[in-house]
Every structure is written in C-alpha cells, then in structure tokens.
Chain A
Amino acid sequence: MNWGSAFRAGVLGTVIAGLSAACATPGAVAPSTMPVTGRVVELGPVEEASSCGYTLLFIPLGAPKPVSALIQDLVRSRGGDALIEVTSGSSSAFYLLGVSNCLYIKGKVVKFTR
C-alpha cells in the first residue's frame, strides 16, 4: 500500500466514523410531574419509557413522542397518578444513511393517598 491509498483509507474511515457518531444531549431532572402535597405510595421501582424518530436519506420517518405523552404512558402503565424522581433526556445517532433521535423519561410511578 502506497502513501496515497493509505491516506484515502484514513480519510474514508474518518468520514464513516463521523457519519456514524452518536451523541446524547443533556436532559431535565424534576422531583415530580405533579405537585405532591400529601402522601404517596410508590407503585414500583424506577421505570423508563422511550420513543424514537428516524430520518433516512433526509426523509423523516416519524418523530419521537412528546415528553408529556411519555409521562402519561408510564403513569398509565402502572395505574398511578404521577411520576417522582423524574429524569429525561434525548440522544441522537448518525448512521451512513440516516439519523435517529430518541427521547427517554425515567421515574417512579406513584399514587396519591387521599
């Protein structure tokens, strides 16, 4: 292999690595999704809900669900009233031919005791 071909392979590798890079963006942290004024019962450990959207060759193939919908899904999956100890974030991954964007939310589902 001469110098020229090695250079070309290096440039190609860098481009591929650059195109396939993934990155996570900082999210949010909140004590709860609703004001907690009374006592609550935790309906389980920390659980996670996520949703992704994809772009293929610059054509969008769906978008991730909004955070509010993810919260609602998670709360509804346990029959609770709210989430506590909530963290959320998003991540993107770049591939040769497309991009994916994902949102996630984590927290404990709780029920208010009245």
Chain B
Amino acid sequence: MFAHTSDHASRLLRVLLGAALACACTPSIAPPSLTVPVKEQEVPIVLAIGPIDTHRLVYDDAPVGGPIESSMQQTIHNTLSRTGVFKEIVTLKLPSQAGGKPDPEQILAAARSQRADLMLVGEVKEFHAESMATFGSEYSVATRLQLQLYNVHTSALVWKKTEKVNLSHGGSLQEIFLNVAVPSLSAGLLPPLVDHVQEEYVASLRAPGISAGATEPYSVFGGAELARIDAELAPPAGLTPPKDHAYAVIVGVEEYRDLPKVDYAKRDAEMVTKYLVKALGYREQNIITLLNGRVTKSQLEARFEKWLPKQVAESRDAEVFVYYGGHGAPDPSTNQAFLVPYDGDPSFLETTAYPLKRLYQVLGNLPAKQVMLVVDSCFSGAGGRSVIAKGARPMLLTVEDPLLASQNMVVLSAAAGNQISSAFPEKRHGLFTYYFLKGLQGEADANKDGAVDVAELYAYLKPQVETAARRMHAEQSPQLMPGTDLLKERGNVRLVDLKR
C-alpha cells in the first residue's frame, strides 16, 4: 500500500515539477503589431468582420480553449484599422446559437444593420498541432485559414484567399495560435484583400457593367445553404408532355433603381422558370424571363400587349402563364393597383408603372385555352412587397375584376388587398412562391392521382401560407380569382403531371 502511495506521490511530484518548469521556462508570447503595406488610398466602404469558423481548432480531442474567434476578429480588425484604408470597420456581434452556426441570413442582416458594404468571414480549414517537448511547452503547428469577402448588398462573393502556415514555438497552444499563427496568416491574407478592395472592387463600383462578384453558381454568402434549399425545391421529373403552344412571361424585380429591395424576387422568378421547363412542359424558347433592370414599363407593355397576343393568335389551344414577383403599389386617387417596374415611382404610377387592371384585360382578351396569372406581390402600400407614394397611407384595394368570372383565366395572388406579401428568409424565397412551388412539386396532390390541378394547388397553398405567415407574426392569405365557387372546370385544369 505504501509502495502504491509513494508511486502516486512521485508521479504527482513529476507532473507538478514539469508544470512548474514549463511555466518558469516559457515566457508569454507578445502579439506583434502588424503593419500592412498598402497604398494610401481611402475607400468609402464600411467593412464588417463577421464570424470565423474555428470548429477545427481541436487538440487531443478537445477544443483549443479561450475566446479564439473574438481574438482573431480583433487581430484582423486592428490590422486593417491601422491601414486607414476603410471608412469604417465594425465587428459583428452575433447571438450564440445552441449547437450550431448562425444562419447566413442572420449574419447578413447583422451586417446590413451596421450599414456595411462588405463583409469578411473566415474559416480555419485545417489545424494540426504536435507537442515537441516533454512537458508540452513547445508545439509544432500547421494550420490553414480561408478568408472570404462578400458584398453585403448582393450577397455575392467578391474575393477569397487561403493561407497556410507551419511553425514551431514555445508556449501554450492557444497563445501560439493567436499570437504567432494568426499574425502570420493575417500577414499573408490581408494585404491582398486590401489591394483587391482598392483596385478591382472600387473599379467595379465606378463601372457597374463590370461584375463585382464571382460568377460561380452559389458563390454567394450561405451558398451551401442555398444549394441545399434549391435541391429540396427542385422541380419534379418532367412527366408533363412538352407543349408546343404554351407561352409564359416571368417577371422578377428584386433590385429597384430607387425603391427598397424585394427579397428573393429574382430567385423566385428563376425557380418558376425552371418549373415551367422541367415540370410543366413549357419550351424554353416560349418563355420570356425579365429580371431586375430589364423590367421596365415599356418591356412589360411589349411582352404583355404585343408578344403574348402574337404568339397566342397562332393557336387556339394555347396556354399562357404569367408570373410577377416584385413591388405592387396602390394609387390612392384612382383606387387602382399597379405593378411597379425597376424604374417605377410610386408618386407617378400612371406614367411609370403598369396597371394591374390593364394586365387582367390584356390576358382576358387573349384567345387562349387557359391563362394563369400568378402575382407574388401586394397592393396595400403597407410594406413587404408593396410601396406607396411618400405621405400616402396604406389602403384597402379590391383588385378583383368582373371579367374574370367569364374568362378562361385564373389568378393566384399572394395576399388579400389589405395584407402584405412576406418573404420567407428560412427558405430564401417569397413565402407565397415557395408554397406555390412546393404544391407543384407534388405536395398539393391531395387525391393522389399523380397530378396537381388548380383547385388542389389553392387548397394546399392557402393554409400553408397562412400558417407560416402567422409564425412570422404576419397575416397573409393567398387569393384565388375567380373564387372557388365560380371556378368550375377551371379548377380541374392540370398544371403538372407527376406520374404517367
């Protein structure tokens, strides 16, 4: 027993002696104050330093302790501040989430709330440490850090670079990483970052024709998340036979020249186009897709009033599909609703916007077998996807047109006249369009006959949107015109065949 005790005591003594020696022989590492050589050219850009993913910083199956992420952010912040290049640099403080990384949308929202133009995020891609001394006071460390710069306004990836470092140093692993490895990585990454912002990014701002972002698919902030969402919402396999006489005009205005952004309107329009081609049997050459800056009043007039009638005139069994995602606006003086194009002005709707009533008339007069209009917009002027002239109050509009009761037309709209049409940030789409597409994907096939018709789609869409809107503390109730009582055989029109 005594032998056993003395064995323990001697082991404890060795450990304590080792620890004492390690402490006594290992001075703390002073962090260097890096001076990055850059051009003396200030750029009018607010830079946000976002999260740095450090989950790979593990040694002996335990995370390298300490406030690693905030210290790395601080090093980058201090180094970039000393250059005097940026107008302002802010470090984003994000609420920690239990068991997971913060949502990319939440990070972007935080950057936007700080009025940032660019956001820098990082990820420790590799970390390997090995103890080189008996008592663990010297380590050999190999690590790789990637920094990515995103445009906060467009979410597009602007720049990225990865830097690797191998080093050996005495001290605690946390100190070695923060005070030796991170400065070395920063020295390799930050000068090229500043160069890129001073030269290419600023040049792209002066000449908007040059893209300031990367062109790879999903090369936007949260791209992996987007890819997952898009895969989940992918159109079902094309079992609807191709239709030679089906024509569509798809309009999505996310970026406006003078108005607030309509979140996800471009993605909505692009996904609707994919559905038409892959699931609804429309031929690509028969679809006109107008996005953002291409959506002008004259283009809307040309496509709705010239192109569509010309195509439909060639065939009596033509089908027409029109989708609009963007701002809507009410005119308080005439009680009319308008679709607002890219350069539209809510104060001069008569001359700058396209009247919804006119769209109903144009589509209603088409000699087509069936016409479907889907509007993910709202016309109350109360926010969301609707705007109103400065000084005017939100209003209740009745946008139903008597023509609808006697035509081959069906209109699905996102919200009632006094409601707003919301975005669905979790799914990166408009709330209404997301469930519209989910319905077409097959979820609306209530009778399991392998097809989704208009009545089934609306029956699915309405409660789904209402419930999701309530979860977001909003009221949104999609509308079908004509109502289900007047729909008759139009309700049985098959939109998509899911099986042969």
Residues of A in contact with B (beta carbons under 8 Å apart): 39-45, 73, 76-80, 111, 113-114
Bound-state CA distance A73–B166 (Å) is 12
Bound-state CA distance A72–B36 (Å) is 23
Bound-state CA distance A39–B181 (Å) is 19
Q: Which residue of A73, A78, A114 is within 8 Å of B184 (Cβ)? A: A78
Stretch at the interface among B187-195, B238-246, B388-396: B187-195
Q: Which residue of A73, A76, A77, A111 is within 8 Å of B187 (Cβ)? A: A111
Given the known A-B contacts A76-B166, A77-B169, are A111 and B32 also in contact in the complex, defined by CB atoms under 8 Å?
no
The answer to the question of B450 belonging to the interface, with a C-beta cut-off of 8 Å to chain A, is no
Contacts of B192 in A (CB 8 A): 113-114
Is B32's CB under 8 angstroms from A43's CB? yes
Is A78's CB under 8 angstroms from B167's CB? yes
Given the known A-B contacts A41-B35, A41-B36, are A111 and B188 also in contact in the complex, defined by CB atoms under 8 Å?
yes
Is A113's CB under 8 angstroms from B191's CB? yes
Contacts of B167 in A (CB 8 A): 76-79
Bound-state CA distance A76–B140 (Å) is 9
Given the known A-B contacts A78-B167, A79-B165, are A43 and B188 also in contact in the complex, defined by CB atoms under 8 Å?
no
Contacts of A45 in B (CB 8 A): 32
Bound-state CA distance A114–B181 (Å) is 18
Contacts of B165 in A (CB 8 A): 79
Minimum CB–CB distance from B169 to chain A (whole Å) comes to 5
Residues of B in contact with A (beta carbons under 8 Å apart): 30, 32, 34-37, 165-169, 180-181, 183-185, 187-188, 191-192
Is B34's CB under 8 angstroms from A43's CB? yes
Is B32's CB under 8 angstroms from A44's CB? yes
Bound-state CA distance A76–B180 (Å) is 10
Judged by DSSP, the binding face of B is: mixed
Minimum CB–CB distance from A88 to chain B (whole Å) comes to 20
Given the known A-B contacts A39-B37, A39-B191, are A79 and B32 also in contact in the complex, defined by CB atoms under 8 Å?
no
Contacts of B30 in A (CB 8 A): 44
Contacts of A39 in B (CB 8 A): 37, 191
Minimum CB–CB distance from B375 to chain A (whole Å) comes to 52
Contacts of B181 in A (CB 8 A): 79
Q: Which residue of B37, B166, B180 is within 8 Å of A41 (Cβ)? A: B37
Is B184's CB under 8 angstroms from A43's CB? yes
Contacts of B187 in A (CB 8 A): 41, 43, 111, 113
Minimum CB–CB distance from B163 to chain A (whole Å) comes to 9
Bound-state CA distance A44–B183 (Å) is 9
Minimum CB–CB distance from B78 to chain A (whole Å) comes to 14
Is B37's CB under 8 angstroms from A113's CB? yes
Contacts of A41 in B (CB 8 A): 34-37, 187, 191
Known: A39-B191, A76-B167, A113-B36. 14 other contacts (CB 8 A): A40-B37, A41-B34, A41-B36, A42-B32, A42-B34, A43-B32, A43-B184, A45-B32, A77-B168, A78-B184, A79-B166, A111-B184, A113-B37, A114-B192
Q: Which residue of B37, B183, B188 is within 8 Å of A114 (Cβ)? A: B188
Is B191's CB under 8 angstroms from A79's CB? no
Bound-state CA distance A42–B180 (Å) is 12
Minimum CB–CB distance from A65 to chain B (whole Å) comes to 14
Contacts of B37 in A (CB 8 A): 39-41, 113
Q: Which 4 residue pairs are nearest across A and B when measured between Cβ atoms?
A: A79-B184, A41-B187, A79-B167, A113-B191
Bound-state CA distance A99–B37 (Å) is 46
| Most-contacted residue by chain A among B37, B166, B181 (CB, 10 A) | B37
Bound-state CA distance A89–B191 (Å) is 34
| Most-contacted residue by chain A among B34, B185, B187 (CB, 10 A) | B187
Q: Which residue of A40, A43, A77 is within 8 Å of B183 (Cβ)? A: A43
Bound-state CA distance A78–B187 (Å) is 11
The residue of chain B having its C-beta at the shortest distance from the C-beta of A40 within the complex is B37
